[in-house]
Amino acid sequence: MRIGELARRSGVSIRSLRYYEEQGLLASSRSAGGHRHYTEEEVDRVAYLQRLYSAGLSSQTIIGLLPCLEAPSAANSNAAFDRLLEERDKLVTHISGLTRALESLNELIAANRAHRAASGAG
Average pLDDT over residues 37-49: 93
Domain presence at residue 45: yes
Burial-class residue 37 by CB neighbours within 10 Å (0-12, 13-18, 19+): middle
Residues 6+ positions from 11 with CB-CB distance below 8 Å = none
Domain presence at residue 82: no
At 101 the pLDDT is 97
Domain around 1: 1-54
At 122 the pLDDT is 58
For residue 121, pLDDT beyond 90:
no
Domain presence at residue 2: yes
The pLDDT tens digits of the residues spanning 49-60 come to 999 898 888 888
| 3-state class (DSSP) for residue 72 | coil
Task: Please tell me which residue, 76 or 82, carries the higher pLDDT value.
Answer: 82
At 40 the pLDDT is 92
Domain presence at residue 19: yes
For residue 68, pLDDT beyond 80:
no
For position 10, which CATH number holds?
1.10.1660.10
Tally of domains within the chain: 1
